[in-house]
């Protein structure tokens, strides 16, 4: 038996083979990290066939989408919000801060502090997954998160789906800012965490590594 030291093994041996999708994702993330909005516009035009100048959706568009939403949909939104609020409040109650004297004069503590800003990706490829917005935003609101940035891909008209806009308006927090497209941008302030139901950016259950950072979708 031959004993081989790890330093004598080529680095690629320790790295799993990347799928074509993973290679492409890494290239996109790297370019966005370097070129910001310019790269975002490039990839939005390439993948969504949309030439978008302004990523932020105005409050007027959100309000208009809300006003034309059917009553049956609004009733469903209200039911979903109440259910999520009920569960989230109970969940928050279970998280308790404390101070504990681990030995004489030495104290350790746990403090529960809400994040300042969170981002939520709402899929809208085949159809708008409005539930993603509710399941991300309502717990954040209950926890006391100050700002929520919502990202969603554009429709063929270059706009965010009306039901997603209506849901953002329905939730009613002035701290909610809705953006498009889905690609991350330098324009909004960095989020403390990103919430998403999609697994597109994590093929085979692995996080995508970009530079020295690692973030799971």
Domain boundaries, the chain: 53-94+109-202
Query: pLDDT exceeding 70 applies to what percent of the chain?
Result: 75
Q: What is the pLDDT of residues 36-68, one digit of tens each?
A: 888 888 888 888 788 877 778 888 888 999 999
Residue 34 tokens, joined: 């370097």
The pTM of the full predicted model, rounded to 2 decimals, is 0.70
- Quote the mean pLDDT of the chain: 79
Q: What is the structure's pLDDT at 124? A: 83
Which residue in the block uniquely carries the two structure tokens 């039911």?
79
Which secondary-structure segment (H or E) carries 99? strand 98-103
- From the list 150, 147, 190, 156, the residue with the least C-alpha distance to 168 is 150
Predicted confidence (pLDDT) at residue 117 exceeds the cutoff of 60? yes
Name the pairing type of β-strands 193-196 and 117-121: parallel
- From the list 217, 168, 178, the residue with the least C-alpha distance to 196 is 217
Cβ 191 vs Cβ 149: under 8 Å: yes
Taking the CA atoms of residue 181, residue 186, residue 188 and residue 191 in that order, the dihedral angle to the nearest 10 degrees is 100
Half-sphere exposure of 209 (CA within 13 A, CB side): 6
Predicted confidence (pLDDT) at residue 87 exceeds the cutoff of 90? yes
The CATH number of the domain covering residues in 53-94+109-202? 3.40.50.1980
Of 12 and 166, the structure prediction assigns the larger pLDDT to: 166
Contacts of 109 (CB under 8 A, 6+ apart): 97, 98, 99, 100
Q: What is the mean pLDDT of residues 180-189?
A: 46
Predicted confidence (pLDDT) at residue 76 exceeds the cutoff of 90? yes
């Amino acid at each position: 038996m031959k004993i081989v030291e790890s330093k004598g093994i080529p680095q690629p041996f320790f790295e799993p083979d990347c799928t074509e999708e993973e290679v492409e994702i890494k290239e996109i993330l790297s370019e966005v990290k370097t070129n910001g909005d310019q790269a975002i516009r490039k990839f939005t035009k390439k993948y969504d066939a949309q030439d978008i100048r302004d990523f932020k959706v105005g409050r007027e568009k959100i309000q208009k989408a809300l006003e034309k939403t059917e009553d049956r949909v609004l009733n469903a939104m209200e039911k979903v919000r109440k259910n999520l609020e009920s569960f989230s409040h109970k969940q928050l109650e279970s998280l308790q801060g404390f101070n504990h004297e681990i030995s004489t004069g030495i104290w350790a503590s746990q403090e529960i502090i809400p994040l300042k800003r969170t981002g939520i990706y709402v899929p809208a490829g085949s159809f708008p997954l409005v539930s993603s917005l509710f399941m991300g935003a309502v717990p954040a609101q209950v926890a006391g998160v100050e700002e929520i940035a919502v990202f969603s891909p554009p429709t063929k008209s270059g706009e965010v789906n009306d039901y997603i806009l209506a849901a953002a308006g329905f939730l009613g927090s002035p701290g909610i800012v809705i953006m498009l497209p889905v690609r991350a941008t330098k324009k909004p302030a960095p989020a403390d965490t990103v919430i998403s139901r999609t697994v597109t950016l994590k093929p085979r259950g692995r996080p995508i590594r970009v530079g020295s950072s690692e973030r799971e979708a």
